[in-house]
């Protein structure tokens, strides 16, 4: 199975050169579902180990264009995890209280503690994406944020937070298909907003903003995983495997018991 494209510091990527329809070598949906089941079981076991080990946290950042599959990825990959050790945070328009602080304040508050997997549905990257495309701040402000984000992520990494950043890469044609489904499928009508159409008109601007964010915020401590996401089943497999592989790489271990169990007698 192929993995996601992992960016490297100093090597710039162009999104238009990457195929969002790549099936990651899985071939069929049935094969993908079997592989996903294996990796989800591995992920469940590693989550328990992460919680017991209590030396690291795992922060999973998920970004995508509208209809890119952020909610679906979380539903299919994270739903089997123990909710005690997995927290999902969705970042929407900042509240009045959040606007009284710097843009990273609300993000830092949601960073998972040691032993926990934290999932960000959207993230601090909105402050170099939406605010750039809609010109909510001056260019000098969002350009400066690339460096601030890199330093923020470096601080987290140096303090036991492992960072996995996923960009779910879909095509413009696939987005159109998913938007139509929101109109035609009554169970999805509630998801549709006229704002979706307005944002779609800015596809080119968003692609440029994403490309810059990925290239400017690729570091050795927090590279990006670009996930081909036209095929939802391939997307889920890639994300689950990347998470399991990262946790496995930490060489997690169960702590030694605090007492000599050989001397414990339960009558």
Give me the residue spans of the domains in the chain. Answer: 5-250
Summarised one tens digit per residue, pLDDT across range 228-258 is 999 999 999 999 999 999 999 999 999 988 8
Residue 266, φ and ψ in degrees, nearest 5: -105, 120
Task: Specify the pLDDT at position 2.
Answer: 58
Summarised one tens digit per residue, pLDDT across range 96-147 is 999 999 999 999 999 999 999 999 999 999 999 999 999 999 999 999 999 9
Per the prediction, the chain carries an average pLDDT of 95
Does an H or E element contain 143, and which?
Answer: helix 139-158
Tokens of 74: 């979380």
CATH number of 5-250: 3.40.50.300
Note the pTM of the prediction, 2 decimals.
0.94
CB 159 within 8 A of CB 56: no
**9-13, 28-32, 119-123, 257-261: range with lowest mean pLDDT:** 257-261
Quick check: 195 pLDDT over 90?
A: no
Q: Percent of the chain scored above 90 by pLDDT?
A: 86
Angle at 163 between CA 49 and CA 36, to 5 degrees: 60
Quick check: 192 pLDDT over 90?
A: no
pLDDT band at residue 3 using 50, 70 and 90 as cut-offs: low
């Amino acid at each position: 199975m192929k993995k996601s494209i992992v960016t490297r510091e100093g090597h710039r990527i162009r999104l238009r050169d990457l195929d969002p329809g790549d099936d990651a070598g899985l071939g069929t949906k049935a094969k993908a579902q079997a592989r996903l089941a294996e990796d989800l079981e591995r992920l469940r076991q590693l989550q328990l180990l992460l919680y017991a080990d209590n030396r690291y946290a795992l922060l999973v950042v998920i970004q995508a264009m509208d209809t890119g599959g952020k909610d679906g990825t979380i539903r299919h990959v994270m739903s089997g995890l123990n909710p005690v050790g997995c927290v999902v945070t969705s970042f929407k328009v900042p509240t009045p209280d959040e606007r009284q602080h710097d843009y990273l304040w609300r993000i830092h508050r949601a960073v998972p503690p040691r032993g926990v997997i934290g999932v960000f549905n959207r993230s601090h990257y909105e402050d170099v994406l939406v605010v750039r495309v809609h010109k909510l701040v001056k260019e000098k402000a969002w350009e400066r944020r690339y460096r601030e984000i890199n330093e923020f992520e470096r601080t987290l990494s140096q303090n036991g937070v492992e960072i996995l950043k996923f960009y779910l890469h879909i095509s413009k044609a696939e987005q159109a298909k998913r938007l139509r489904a929101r109109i035609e499928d009554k169970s999805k009508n509630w998801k549709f907003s006229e704002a979706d159409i307005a944002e779609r008109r800015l596809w080119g601007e968003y692609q440029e903003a994403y490309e810059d964010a990925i290239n400017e915020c690729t570091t050795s401590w927090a590279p990006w995983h670009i996930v081909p996401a036209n095929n939802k089943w391939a997307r889920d497999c890639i994300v689950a495997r990347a998470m399991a592989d990262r946790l496995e790489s930490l060489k997690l271990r169960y702590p030694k018991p605090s007492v000599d169990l050989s001397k414990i007698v339960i009558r």
